Chains A and B, each alone.
Chain A
Amino acid sequence: DTGVSQDPRHKITKRGQNVTFRCDPISEHNRLYWYRQTLGQGPEFLTYFQNEAQLEKSRLLSDRFSAERPKGSFSTLEIQRTEQGDSAMYLCASSLPIALTDTQYFGPGTRLTVL
């Protein structure tokens, strides 16, 4: 399977714990995006990387959130001191812009439940 993969698929944690998610983009895709989706809503942009550089962060990304893409390949999203409001599906997408096209391909997501 050469699509975007995310790990873990599900994570249950207690309030106050730290969690880390991993995203492996499609090989050769230089852009990687993180989105968050809550029940009944569309995905909301969190941050994106061009290669290893983090170029934009949403105001949704509080200081408890940090994302990295150290070698321009896989990325991690860490949430410190989780809160119940962090419960959501965390989606990763990757793309390779060509001319006017920048199609983002999404992974299956990591569903986080904070108890």
Chain B
Amino acid sequence: QKEVEQDPGPLSVPEGAIVSLNCTYSNSAFQYFMWYRQYSRKGPELLMYTYSSGNKEDGRFTAQVDKSSKYISLFIRDSQPSDSATYLCAMSAEKSSGDKLTFGTGTRLAVRP
């Protein structure tokens, strides 16, 4: 079993829809949670960074972390065709472990005009 599980999709939604992306994890040592966006043949780009449980909002993006359930989510409001990409969740443990990131497989999202 992988430490981080993420549905690979693809997920196809119409423009303007609310998108929900999720990851589950098994390692209770994870404290830092991130969402990256990756366009085809490009490097990952950081979208959201959260520490421990709670919500964080940035523009059209909201990240949620529920450590009791080992479950994290990313919501995208008013989705746009330019949001079409692969979304990767990533997480790391305490800083003593070097902050190496453990990624999910990524969810491919397509937003239809």
Contacts and interface: CB of A to CB of B under 8 A. Distances in A.
Interface string A79-115: 0000000000001000101001111111111010000
Contact of B49 (A43, A58, A101): A101
Interface stretch (B39-47, B59-67, B71-79): B39-47
How many interface residues does chain A have, given as a range? 20 to 34
A44 B8 contact: no
Nearest to A33: B100
Nearest to B89: A42
Contacts of B103: 42-44
B99 A42 contact: no
Interface of B: 4, 6, 8, 32, 36, 41-46, 49, 51, 88, 90, 92, 95, 98-106
**The 6 A-B residue pairs with the shortest CB-CB distance in the complex, in nearest-first order:** A42-B103, A106-B43, A45-B100, A102-B99, A108-B43, A106-B44
Given A31-B99, A95-B99, A105 B106 contact: no
Given A41-B106, A48-B99, A103-B49, 7 more contacts: A42-B6, A91-B43, A102-B32, A106-B43, A106-B44, A107-B43, A108-B42
13 contacts: A33-B101, A40-B106, A41-B106, A42-B4, A42-B6, A43-B101, A45-B101, A55-B98, A102-B32, A103-B49, A104-B101, A107-B43, A108-B43
A42 B46 contact: no
A109 B99 contact: no
A56 interface: yes
A109 B88 contact: no
Given A100-B51, A104-B99, A40 B46 contact: no
Contact of B105 (A42, A55, A102, A109): A42
Contacts of B95: 97, 102
Contacts of B105: 40-42
